[in-house]
């Protein structure tokens, strides 16, 4: 068998590239990327930081900061109960890329299915609309609804990737969809993008001004790179912008939008009193009209917000958050145990400011993230 010298040289070069840890040089360079506090992606430190530092770069520091915030919550924000949210999915040609596999579009659709389930568990008084933009146009796949079946059907009906998205069309449609939302509802837009260009019929700055005037908050997660006009749109509206480093980082960024955003002073004044009703025998308690719409929703006749008691029970902690647990003063009493898991506490512990109950840091994070109620308070 004849062997070409050029082939040997190519094999040697590939072996050198993959010599360390079974990874190629470009993979090691990607692992060194960092995400700063503003969500921008940049080069991190060199390879001499060690294996431990490289392992922490996978989520760009976002996961570690979120875990520290959960373990030691510093501020308890009041959050809205009702959310109106528009999902805008990029269906441009860039979504055909196979990173993450099997394709960007299939990956985003799968992530959104799981995200919607988590959203309605954490915020049952929410309504979501799905828009798809590609080929220079924007299509509404599902209007604002609190029902999962039409939302899942909309994700299954995403058009095939083609052309370029139109951010202006998407923003105009989102503004029209949220224009008549009640004052007590949030007006949020979440952009999931992969394209680096947009094709618009006019000035997108006019659309941004209109969205800001209607109190829309625009958030964006990009799969490729930071785009100036997208970040400018998010900053103008008071939203967030981030670039995903990999599939796990994208999941972390998307999970950050499960909890409702904190209420500002003006929104708290608007949401002081919100009339709501509990349907009885599929009838509105105010006007007795038949309520064929999904609950939570609005009465088609008198526009009364219709909810169930379970929805309020699962959402009240957003308006009345559990205060953060400060670290208890040392030394701890002898033979003291955690008020959650009954584990002996030796060095330090978190202490409830209301009942003075002591908790380990793991139970502290679980109480604030899941229970939202101190188990030792009377």
- Mean pLDDT along residues 32-56: 45
CB 179 within 8 Å of CB 302: no
Q: Would the pTM count as exceeding 0.95?
A: no
For residue 350, give Cα distances in angstroms to 112, 331, 356: 35, 13, 9
**Which domains does the chain carry?**
83-255 (3.40.50.410), 274-316 (no CATH), 325-378 (3.30.40.10)
Decide if pLDDT at 120 tops 80: yes
Banded pLDDT at 113 (limits 50, 70, 90): very high
For 276-301, write each residue's pLDDT tens digit.
888 888 888 889 888 766 778 788 88
Who has greater pLDDT, 132 or 23? 132
- Mean pLDDT along residues 189-217: 95
For 9-43, write each residue's pLDDT tens digit.
544 444 444 444 455 554 444 455 555 555 555 55
Closest C-alpha to 190, from 258, 88, 106: 88
For residue 45, give Cα distances in angstroms to 25, 29, 36, 66: 15, 10, 13, 22
Note the pLDDT of residue 372.
Answer: 83
Q: Out of 142-156, 240-254, 263-277, 342-356, which region has the weakest mean confidence (pLDDT)? A: 263-277
Note the pLDDT of residue 42.
Answer: 58
CB 178 within 8 Å of CB 214: yes
220 forms beta bridges with: 191, 241
């Amino acid at each position: 068998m004849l062997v070409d010298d050029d082939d040997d040289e190519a094999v040697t070069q590939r072996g050198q590239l993959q010599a360390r840890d079974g990874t190629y040089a470009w993979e090691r360079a990607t692992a060194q990327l960092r995400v700063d506090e503003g969500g921008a992606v940049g080069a991190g430190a060199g390879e001499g930081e060690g294996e431990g530092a490289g392992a922490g770069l996978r989520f760009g520091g976002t996961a570690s900061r979120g875990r520290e915030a959960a373990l030691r919550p510093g501020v308890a924000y009041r959050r809205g109960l009702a959310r109106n949210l528009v999902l805008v999915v990029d269906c441009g040609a860039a979504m055909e890329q196979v990173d993450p596999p099997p394709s960007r579009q299939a990956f985003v659709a799968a992530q959104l299915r799981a995200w919607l389930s988590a959203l309605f568990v954490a915020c049952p008084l929410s309504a979501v609309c799905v828009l798809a933009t590609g080929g220079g146009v924007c299509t509404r796949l599902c209007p604002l609804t609190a029902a999962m079946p039409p939302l899942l059907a909309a994700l299954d009906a995403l058009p095939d990737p083609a052309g370029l998205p139109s951010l202006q069309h998407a923003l105009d449609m989102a503004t029209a969809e949220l224009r008549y939302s009640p004052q007590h509802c949030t007006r949020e837009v979440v952009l999931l993008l992969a394209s680096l260009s947009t094709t618009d019929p006019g000035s997108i700055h006019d659309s941004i001004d209109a969205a800001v005037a209607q109190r829309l908050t625009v958030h964006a997660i990009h799969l490729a790179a930071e785009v100036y006009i997208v970040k400018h749109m998010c900053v103008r509206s008071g939203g967030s912008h981030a670039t995903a480093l990999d599939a796990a980082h994208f999941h972390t960024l998307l999970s950050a939008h499960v909890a409702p955003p904190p209420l500002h002073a003006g929104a708290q004044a608007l949401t002081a009193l919100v009339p709501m009703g509990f349907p009885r025998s599929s009838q509105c308690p105010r006007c007795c009209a038949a309520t064929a719409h999904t609950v939570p929703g609005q009465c088609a006749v008198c526009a009364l917000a219709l909810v169930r008691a379970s929805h309020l029970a699962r959402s009240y902690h957003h308006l009345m958050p559990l205060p953060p647990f400060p670290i208890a003063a040392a030394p701890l009493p002898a033979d003291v145990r955690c008020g959650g898991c009954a584990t002996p506490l030796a060095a330090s512990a978190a202490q409830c400011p209301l009942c003075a109950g002591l908790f380990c840091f793991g139970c502290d994070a679980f109480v604030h993230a899941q229970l939202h109620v101190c188990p030792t308070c009377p």
